[in-house]
Amino acid sequence: MTPDPLINAFDLGADPMQYGKERMAAAEAMMKDLAEKVVENGEGYQRLRQAFALLLSQYGNGSYLAANYVGGIYVRRDHHGDPQGRDPLSAVQAAKQREALKFLQERVLTDKPFRFPPELLKKLAADRWLHWGNEYALWGGVEFPLYSRILGIQKVALNQLFDPDVLSRIQNNALQATNGESPLTLAEVFRAATDSVCADLEGRDAAPEGAVIRRNLQREHLKKLTTIVVGNKNRYNDDYFYYVFYFGGQRTPPPDARSLARMHVRELGKRIELALKENRTDDSRRAHLEECQEQIAKALAAAMQVND
């Protein structure tokens, strides 16, 4: 996978992140009165399901294009002595990385963009036919798997932000800073993710219609953090396979990332404890928070054993 955010298969324009933003904005605008736009009188609502799925995929594309800027490196093939020659490798500007991080906070790692009107969701009919373009609905249920689709979009961002290679590049990119530049730091990335994902623990932006989306996102975020803290079990036992195909052992995040992940896991535990003490939760939210508490305790205990 290339670290260069300008190298993508399906983007248009010189600024892929701006393209992704515009696609998401266009999809959001087209969601309004979508049934009236794509379904003629006398037709079934099956086309509406396809149109909705297509527009929802634009959120995923925007998430992918923006997330690639965080920890990104521009890769160029200029030669020594070329007129206006550029360096072969240069970190994405810190301002651009922060812009991408803020966009992910506001438009992906939150439930706000995914609060679709019930009138629309009730019309996502399944056609039950197997043919190109209908997402193989014959094999699925008649209901639209909205929660899993939304989490898939959000996982695109989380997978990029907490990828070991990306975390290492963020740290290494700081070495290229000159002229008083302020490079993006690992601490900023961890803080942005935690504050965005867990905003509702302090009662902010806790709309009831987004509760399930927030809980799913929080579970995935906690999973990413605990994986960094404890380590990811090697899926391949054959060291030769790793040597041949990955040029050495399993990728690991930098030590600073592990320390930050541990700090944020502990912080989440404190936030959850305060939220439970406030006693303003329903049974589903309380069960979710208590489960997260248990996972945090187990992860921290396991990390201590690993370190010992």
The number of CA neighbours under 13 Å toward the Cβ of 124 is: 23
CA distance readout (Å), 168 to 19, 125, 254, 255, 263 = 27, 45, 6, 9, 18
Tens of pLDDT, residue by residue over 184-231, are 999 999 999 999 999 888 765 567 888 999 999 999 999 999 999 998
pLDDT at residue 243 above 50?
no
Paired tokens of 270 = 């404190």
Domain spans of the chain, in order of start:
16-76+87-176+184-307
Residue from 26, 120, 22, 34 nearest 65 by CA: 22
Tens of pLDDT, residue by residue over 17-61, are 999 999 999 999 999 899 999 999 998 898 999 899 999 999 999
Block residue for tokens 């700090």: 263
Beta carbons within 8 Å of 120's beta carbon, 6+ residues apart: 31, 34, 35, 48, 52
Strands (E), the chain: 73-75, 89-91
Beta carbons within 8 Å of 198's beta carbon, 6+ residues apart: 218, 221, 268, 271
Considering the entire predicted model, what is its pTM? Answer: 0.88
Tell me what pLDDT residue 139 has: 58
Query: Other CB atoms closer than 10 Å to residue 105's CB: what's the count?
Result: 17
Average of pLDDT values for 136-140? 54
Tens of pLDDT, residue by residue over 68-86, are 999 999 999 999 999 988 9
